[in-house]
């Protein structure tokens, strides 16, 4: 079973702070995705990483895939209230896709 | 507008009463799947389909059925719902395999089984 553990489970910060959330597994994935989900809606894809050590940037969000392709991190610089949401990581190998339980981020104005 | 639609959005039912949650996508995607989302457990895949008439079990298929008679539709069937199937359900579609292609999610169906 490929389990994905996300930490922290909850995070509440002030606007302007930086933060990092983590996604860890003992299994190797061929790709890893990060999604953001807002209340009452389905998850929306933010990024896909496929190469060990890969770093992708999306405005203030920086995503990194671990060298061994077992873990990933999401770093947000100067968080804004609009970043509030549930951040989910999902790892894929062959046709098998597994989601973590998510990190619920609240950014206070 | 490209989208995945699910109906109904909310449903309260009783144990044993058969129900169907519909899912439709207008993007001509090959791959569709169903997930359930429970607190602390994240999204767990119930079934997926890689094309018409091709369906496979995900992590938690017990108590569910699916069909893929047309490319655009992928209904989820609960023949005899039980309270442990109370959950938030999402349908998703993608052009190819979910892990590499963008997966588009529907708005969710909140099901309560009494």
Which of these, A89, A84, A86, lies nearest to A99 by C-alpha position? Answer: A89
B32-70 b/e (C-beta count within 10 Å ≥ 16 → b): bbbbbbeeeebbbbbbbbbeeeebeebbbbeebebbbee
Alpha carbon distance B2, A92 (integer Å): 24
Q: What DSSP letter does each residue of B42-84 carry, written as one string?
A: EEEEEEEEEETTEEEE-S--TT-EE--SSSSB--EEESS--GG
Q: Classify burial at A109, counting beta carbons within 10 Å of its beta carbon; exposed 0-12, middle 13-18, buried 19 or more.
A: exposed
Which of these, A103, A102, A84, A61, lies nearest to A13 by C-alpha position? Answer: A84
Could you say which of A42, A97, A101 has the minimum Cβ distance to residue B99?
Answer: A97
Residue-level pLDDT at B40: 84
A16-64 residue pLDDT tens: 999 999 999 998 999 999 999 998 899 999 999 999 999 999 999 999 9
A63-100 residue pLDDT tens: 999 999 999 999 999 999 999 999 999 998 877 788 99
Report yes or no: B28 and B71 within 8 Å, Cβ to Cβ: yes
Mutate to test the interface with A, among B2, B10, B43, B109 (most CBs of A within 10 A): B43
Mutate to test the interface with B, among A39, A42, A48, A91 (most CBs of B within 10 A): A42
């Amino acid at each position: 079973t490929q389990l994905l553990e996300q930490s922290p489970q909850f995070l509440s910060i002030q606007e302007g702070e930086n933060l990092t959330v983590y996604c860890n597994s003992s299994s190797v994935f061929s790709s890893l995705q990060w999604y953001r989900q807002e209340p009452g809606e389905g998850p929306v894809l933010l990024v896909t990483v496929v190469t060990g050590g890969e770093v992708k940037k999306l405005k203030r969000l920086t995503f990194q895939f671990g060298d061994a392709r077992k873990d990933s991190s999401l770093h947000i610089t100067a968080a804004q209230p609009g970043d509030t949401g549930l951040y989910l990581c999902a790892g894929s190998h062959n046709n098998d896709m597994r989601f973590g339980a998510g990190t619920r981020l609240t950014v206070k104005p | 507008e490209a989208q995945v639609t699910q109906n109904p959005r909310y449903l309260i039912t009783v144990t044993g009463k058969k129900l169907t949650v519909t899912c439709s996508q207008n993007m001509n995607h090959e791959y569709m799947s169903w997930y359930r989302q429970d607190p602390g457990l994240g999204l767990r895949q119930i079934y997926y389909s890689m094309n018409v008439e091709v369906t496979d079990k995900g992590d938690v298929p017990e108590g569910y059925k699916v069909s893929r008679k047309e490319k655009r539709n992928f209904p989820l069937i609960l023949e005899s719902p039980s309270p442990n199937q109370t959950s938030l359900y999402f349908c998703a579609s993608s052009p190819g395999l979910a892990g590499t292609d963008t997966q588009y999610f529907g708005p969710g169906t909140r099901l309560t089984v009494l």
